[in-house]
Amino acid sequence: MSSYARYCKVQAAECARRAKLASSPDIAAERRNLGLRWLKLAEKALAASRPLTHASKPSAAMPARA
Protein backbone atom coordinates (compact mmCIF):
# COMPACT_ATOMS: atom_id res chain seq x y z
CA MET A 1 0.00 0.00 0.00
CA SER A 2 1.34 3.41 -0.88
CA SER A 3 2.04 5.90 1.86
CA TYR A 4 -0.62 8.22 0.40
CA ALA A 5 -3.28 5.48 0.47
CA ARG A 6 -2.30 4.70 4.06
CA TYR A 7 -2.55 8.39 4.95
CA CYS A 8 -6.03 8.60 3.42
CA LYS A 9 -7.19 5.57 5.41
CA VAL A 10 -5.84 7.09 8.63
CA GLN A 11 -7.70 10.31 7.88
CA ALA A 12 -10.90 8.36 7.24
CA ALA A 13 -10.53 6.58 10.57
CA GLU A 14 -9.99 9.92 12.31
CA CYS A 15 -13.15 11.30 10.70
CA ALA A 16 -15.10 8.27 11.95
CA ARG A 17 -13.72 8.78 15.46
CA ARG A 18 -14.66 12.46 15.40
CA ALA A 19 -18.13 11.66 14.06
CA LYS A 20 -18.76 9.57 17.18
CA LEU A 21 -17.70 12.50 19.36
CA ALA A 22 -19.68 15.13 17.45
CA SER A 23 -21.92 17.45 19.41
CA SER A 24 -24.73 17.45 16.84
CA PRO A 25 -26.16 15.09 14.21
CA ASP A 26 -25.27 17.57 11.45
CA ILE A 27 -21.61 17.65 12.41
CA ALA A 28 -21.54 13.87 12.75
CA ALA A 29 -23.00 13.46 9.26
CA GLU A 30 -20.51 15.93 7.82
CA ARG A 31 -17.59 14.06 9.37
CA ARG A 32 -18.91 10.70 8.15
CA ASN A 33 -19.19 12.11 4.63
CA LEU A 34 -15.67 13.47 4.85
CA GLY A 35 -14.47 10.05 5.98
CA LEU A 36 -16.11 8.44 2.96
CA ARG A 37 -14.35 10.91 0.69
CA TRP A 38 -11.01 9.98 2.27
CA LEU A 39 -11.78 6.30 1.64
CA LYS A 40 -12.52 7.03 -2.02
CA LEU A 41 -9.18 8.81 -2.29
CA ALA A 42 -7.47 5.80 -0.72
CA GLU A 43 -9.09 3.49 -3.27
CA LYS A 44 -7.97 5.72 -6.13
CA ALA A 45 -4.44 5.77 -4.75
CA LEU A 46 -4.44 1.98 -4.50
CA ALA A 47 -5.74 1.63 -8.05
CA ALA A 48 -3.09 4.02 -9.36
CA SER A 49 -0.31 2.09 -7.64
CA ARG A 50 -1.32 -1.30 -9.05
CA PRO A 51 0.68 -2.56 -12.03
CA LEU A 52 -1.03 -2.56 -15.40
CA THR A 53 -2.57 -5.86 -16.42
CA HIS A 54 -2.69 -7.54 -19.80
CA ALA A 55 -6.00 -5.77 -20.46
CA SER A 56 -4.05 -2.64 -21.31
CA LYS A 57 -2.11 -4.43 -24.07
CA PRO A 58 -3.43 -4.43 -27.65
CA SER A 59 -5.92 -7.19 -28.21
CA ALA A 60 -4.79 -10.34 -30.01
CA ALA A 61 -8.22 -10.47 -31.64
CA MET A 62 -7.44 -7.37 -33.71
CA PRO A 63 -6.41 -8.36 -37.25
CA ALA A 64 -2.94 -7.31 -38.33
CA ARG A 65 -2.65 -4.77 -41.13
CA ALA A 66 -1.43 -6.16 -44.41
Residues 2-40 pLDDT 10s: 899 999 999 999 999 999 999 999 999 999 999 999 999
Is 14 a domain residue? Answer: yes
Measured between alpha carbons, how far is 30 from 18 in angstroms, rounded to an integer? 10
Residues in Cβ contact with 9 at an 8 Å cutoff, skipping those fewer than 6 apart: 38, 39, 42
So what's the pLDDT on residue 32? 97
The closest of 9, 2, 47, 48 to 17, measured between CA atoms, is 9
Query: Does the residue 64 lie in any domain?
Result: no
pTM for the model stands at 0.71
Q: Tens of pLDDT along 50-61? A: 876 655 555 555
* Residue 23 in domain: yes
Q: In this predicted structure, what is the pLDDT of residue 12?
A: 97
Does residue 62 sit within a domain? no
Give domain status of residue 43, yes or no: yes
The count of structural domains within the chain is 1
